[in-house]
Amino acid sequence: MRMDRRSFLKAIGAAGVGGSAVAVPAQQARAAHGPAVSEDVMGVLVDIPKCIGCRRCEYACQEAAGFNPPPVAQFEDKTPLEQARRPLPRSHTVINRYLNPKDPSKPLYNKFNCMHCNDPACLSACLVTAFSKRADGPVVYDASRCMGCRYCMVACPFEIPTYDYDMPLTPQVRKCNLCAHLVPEKQPAPACVTICPEEVMIYGPRKDLLEEAHERIRRAPDVYVDHVYGEHEGGGTSWLYLSNVPFEQVGFKYFDTQAPPRLPEKIQHAEFKGFVLPLAWYGLLGTIMWLTKPNPAERASEPEH
């Protein structure tokens, strides 16, 4: 059952009248305080120098999501790569092309989709728990809970969630779900990983992927920059990347290692520690009220009209 804005506000009001806080599921409560990620959480390692820009992953993603894409041969068209793209409501992953400073004749290609953060900002920002972080890694979305506030779109540091404005009666936030509806019950890996002809991506436990990534860097320091994108960015993500050029040269803009939800938490804890700041504010407001209150003696001496 969909919880709309009015129902949500009623629930908040009822909780306030009852003198108790709104109940939050245990899993979400843990997430709000920076959950410890299991060592067995799954992820994907992307080796950017191997990508040839075939865009078959775009086709596979659309097919897995049930969007009835055009024939895979149409994705061989490189025209869309002439400008940088972001995921769309019916294109949850996109390939972009970048100049290769080491060899301009061989462009670099990079894949963008939901990073499936260890401590997701979309989950923290959502007022109605429409997002959740599964124990095996995917950050999934429940449209039946969504009230359309789109706070998740603002909160995401990677600018990934999109909104399906073409469906005014049943709008939804759209993003990659790491094929959580298919893996592992129906197939062993996400569709984009399975279809890749160059084996650009590896699917497996995140801890193993990190070991493999650092081993590749160690074996070929002249090929890779010594940085695994996603190991620490945004508090760590399930999607990890290797590159032969600095990551800002292949479209990545966010490099903060702190999970976004932790910043407001620190501010709130600092403000309310010992309740000093609220008491100071109450004291200041009380002083202003006392200084500006009417003088009873002056009011008594005023002539009556």
CATH of the domain at 202: 3.30.70.20
Is residue 249 within 8 Å of residue 260, measured between CB atoms? no
Domain that holds residue 290: 262-294
User: pLDDT digits over 82-129, tens only?
Assistant: 999 999 999 999 999 999 999 999 999 999 999 999 999 999 999 999
Q: In angstroms, rounded to a whole number, what is the distance separating the alpha carbons of residues 75 and 55?
A: 6
**What is the structure's pLDDT at 1?**
44
Q: What angle do CA 182, 187, 188 make, to 5 degrees?
A: 115
3-state secondary structure 107-153: CEEEEECCCCECCCHHHHHCCCCCEEECCCCCEEECCCCCCCCCHHH
Dihedral sign for Cα atoms in the order 94, 146, 231, 181: negative
**What is the structure's pLDDT at 169?**
79
Q: In angstroms, rounded to a whole number, what is the distance separating the alpha carbons of residues 204 and 190?
A: 10
**What is the structure's pLDDT at 29?**
31
**What is the structure's pLDDT at 206?**
97
**What is the structure's pLDDT at 265?**
53
The rounded Cα 178 to chain-centroid distance in angstroms is 13
The CA-based diameter of the chain, rounded to the nearest angstrom, is 94
**What is the structure's pLDDT at 288?**
85
Question: What is the average pLDDT value for the chain, to the nearest integer?
Answer: 85
What is the CB neighbour count within 10 angstroms for residue 288? 10
| Residue 147, domain member (yes or no) | yes
Residues 71 and 187 in one domain: yes
| Residue 5, domain member (yes or no) | no
Which runs of consecutive H residues, i.e. helices, occur in 148-221? 151-155, 191-195, 206-219
- Number of structural domains (the chain) is 2
SS3 state of residue 151: helix
